[in-house]
Structure 1
Amino acid sequence: MSKRQIDVITTDESPICPRCGKEALLLARMPHGWVNASGELVDGRSDVVLCADCDADAPHAAPLITWFHVHGRVERDNSEEFVNLLVVWTEGMSVPPLDERRLETEVELWRSGNL
């Protein structure tokens, strides 16, 4: 099994969860892809957030959420534990496949000025 490179995005401001609109704990960018109508692989990257509310019941996310509640931020003395929990979280993440019909609808709405 090949490993995906997932980038943790750090900024001065906390990310916002797109599901609930609250402040999230972490923003990561993960690779994904799909096969287009021509049979060619299309690579992409999607932003994924770790949200204390939305992800609390997810077995792969709960330990990392707890870590954030205990430690708050990554420091030199807790970075190894953070990385281990981050790996568990990212291994449990997936990006849903592209819904080409929805994409086409959104493109048409955008072109008509209704999006």
Structure 2
Amino acid sequence: MAGSGVSGETSDRDQILCKVEDTPLCPQCAGSTLLLAQFPHSWRNGRSEDVSGVKEAVLCPGCHHGEPAADELIALFAVDDRLGPENVEVFGGLVAAWVESVRHRAVDDEVLTAEFELWKQGEL
């Protein structure tokens, strides 16, 4: 799918920048990705102060298959090889839904601990 980006016009929280060409490899499987999205992200630090930043997420057809919002976006890439005026609105809606699902992902503490142990042992 060719195209450079989609950007929201409503508020900072809704602004999503997308890259669909020359996307980075998946950090989980090192496979090809379909999309890189950058979006505002914030959290509270130890002093209960808001910290704002930008978060990035990639859409990997292998790793994210089975997630409803990802599946819809992966399907669009499968049937449309170009991002154009005829599908940009659908694309924008699907990206917004996928990013919202990504915003709510949490770290799996068990996986993180296991990977940390492997790293300490020099196996990762």
TM-score when scaled to structure 1? 0.71
Aligned residue for 2:38, secondary structure, equals strand
* Residue in structure 2 matching 1:92, options 101, 104, 108: 101
After TM superposition, which residue ranges in structure 1, 4 or more long, deviate above 6 angstroms? none
CA RMSD of aligned residues (A): 2.5
Taking the TM superposition and a 5 Å limit, the aligned residue runs for 1:1-115 are 4-10=13-19, 12-94=21-103, 96=106
Q: Contact 1:6–1:28 (CA<8 Å) still a contact in 2?
A: no
Partner Cα distance (1:11, 1:65) in 2: 12
User: Bigger CA drift: 54-63 or 88-97?
Assistant: 88-97
TM-score when scaled to structure 2? 0.67
Partner Cα distance (1:86, 1:11) in 2: 11
Aligned residue for 1:93, secondary structure, equals helix
Partner Cα distance (2:94, 2:18) in 1: 16
C-alpha deviation, 1:12, in angstroms: 4.5
Partner Cα distance (2:62, 2:54) in 1: 24
C-alpha deviation, 1:3, in angstroms: 7.3
The percent of aligned pairs where both chains have the same amino acid is 36
Aligned residue for 2:75, secondary structure, equals helix
Structure 2: gaps spanning 5 or more residues: 1-10, 113-124
C-alpha deviation, 1:63, in angstroms: 0.5
Structure 1: gaps spanning 5 or more residues: 103-115
